[in-house]
Amino acid sequence: MLADIRIGQAARFGSLTVFPLFCEESHPVEYLLSDEALEAGGATVSEVSQQGSVPELVVENKGAQRVLFLEGEELRGAKQNRVLNTSLLIPAKSKLTIPVSCVEQGRWRRTSAFFAASKTGSPYRLRYALKGSVSKSLKENRGHRSDQGQVWEEVSKQHDALGVESGTSALADTYEKYEQNLDEACKALQYVPGACGLAVAIGAKLISADVFDKPATCQKVWNRLLSGLVLDALAEAQAGGSPDPAQVLQLLQDTRNAGWTQTEAVGEGQEYRAEFDTNLASALLLEGSLVHGSVLTASG
């Protein structure tokens, strides 16, 4: 899919620039997104036990369709809020332990039996830290574990940059404080019909690209992905310059030509990872279709 991507007209909000990406028709995969399954009651996410375990949660998919969770998406509730360490497909009628990271350092008490979907995604720097530490962990045969200390550090840095006070050091409190800014950004950077992905820059620096197997998924998660990126842009409001579409083409080409390594996937499908020029990429495939591919550039 990365070989047949067309870049659409960029939209801008403050220091944030978004390029819609259009893909050739492929073979879309059948699944529900995590928020759809959780809100319908077809799937639940809970602590692994009464005592809980910070880096793990349990997903029970009671439905007849597989469920897609995305790297960096936030789940709220139970003993503390978490984010997904990697994108994964939960098979139908199954129960699976999934790798997560805590984004609420100051709470370890149960507020609900199950987690709820937040409809927010991780900021870029936090997601870069996740992808890098998980890739390192996989190389060391430790599974999809993150550097939890680094995750907390990134949440703390963003709180400081945006003047957020949080009694539990919760990432969620940043979204709450800047809810109006997020709404304004999403209105200015609306999903472009037919897009299967998006590439994003802050100032002149291209920072990320995400591609999905079908436009319907991209449309549903568009604002979720933007939520974290808007926070990054607010923290770097003075970033100047504007990106060139040629940068996007070059990043996609470099990603396609990178040295990819297959790793053991969590759930269904095949997972691949690549590192090149300090950029980090991952891809989740099923039956030859790219369900979710992403690349993040070095934070600088």
**What is the maximal distance between C-alpha atoms in the chain?**
52
What local confidence, expressed as pLDDT, does residue 272 receive?
Answer: 98
Nearest to 144 by CA among 85, 62, 78, 75: 85
pLDDT confidence tier of residue 278, bands split at 50, 70 and 90: very high
Q: pLDDT tens, 159-198?
A: 999 999 999 999 999 999 999 999 999 999 999 999 999 9
Distance CA 30, CA 217 (A): 11
pLDDT mean over 242-264: 94
pLDDT band at 24 (very low <50, low <70, confident <90, very high): confident
Distance from C-alpha of 243 to C-alpha of 253, rounded to nearest angstrom: 17
Q: Is the confidence at residue 55, as pLDDT, over 60? A: yes
State pLDDT tens for residues 94-105.
999 999 999 999
Binned at pLDDT 50, 70 and 90, residue 277 comes out as very high
pLDDT at residue 104 in the model: 98
Is 300 a residue whose pLDDT tops 60?
no
Q: Are 85 and 72 in contact (CB under 8 A)?
A: no
Distance separating alpha carbons of residues 44 and 34, to the nearest angstrom: 9
What rounded mean pLDDT belongs to the chain? 95
Give the Cα separation of 6 and 19 in Å (integer).
10
Residue 1's pLDDT is 56
Please tell me what DSSP assigns to residue 22.
Answer: E
- The more confidently predicted of residues 2 and 259 is 259
Q: Which amino acid is at 264?
A: E
Q: Which residue has the tokens 């819609």?
A: 20
Average pLDDT over residues 122-128: 96
How many CB atoms lie under 10 A from the CB of residue 159? 18
Q: Tokens 């979204």 map to which residue?
A: 175
Q: Residue 240's pLDDT is what?
A: 81
Q: What integer is the mean pLDDT of 119-144?
A: 96
Long-range contacts for 148-157 (Cβ within 8 Å, ≥24 apart)?
148/54, 148/55, 148/101, 148/102, 151/83, 151/101, 151/102, 151/103, 151/126, 152/102, 152/103, 152/105, 154/123, 154/125, 154/126, 154/129, 155/103, 155/105, 155/126, 157/125
Beta-strand runs (E) in 203-287: 205-212, 261-263, 270-276, 279-286
Q: Is 127 helix (H, G, I), strand (E, B) or coil?
A: helix
- Residue range 219-233: mean pLDDT, rounded: 95
The count of structural domains within the chain is: 1
User: Can you tell me the mean pLDDT for 10-29?
Assistant: 91
Q: In the prediction, which pLDDT does 239 show?
A: 79
Which pLDDT tens digit goes with each residue over 227-246?
Answer: 999 999 999 878 788 899 99
Going by C-alpha positions, the residue among 38, 129, 128 that lies closest to residue 75 is: 38
Gap between the Cα atoms of 4 and 290, Å rounded: 13
For residue 116, how far is the Cα from the chain centroid? 16
pLDDT at 17 over 70: yes
Q: Flag whether pLDDT at 59 surpasses 60.
A: yes
pLDDT at 282: 97
Mention every residue, 6+ apart, whose C-beta is less than 8 A from residue 250: none
More confident residue, 242 or 140: 140
> Is 4 buried (19+), middle (13-18) or exposed (0-12) by CB count in 10 A?
exposed
The range of the structural domain enclosing residue 187 comes to 2-296
pLDDT > 90 fraction of the chain, expressed in percent and rounded: 92
At 4, the pLDDT band (50, 70, 90 cuts) reads confident
At a CB cut-off of 8 Å and minimum separation 6, what does 142 contact? none
- Answer whether residue 299 shows pLDDT above 90: no
Neighbours of 127 (CB within 10 A): 25
* Whether the predicted pLDDT of 76 surpasses 80: yes
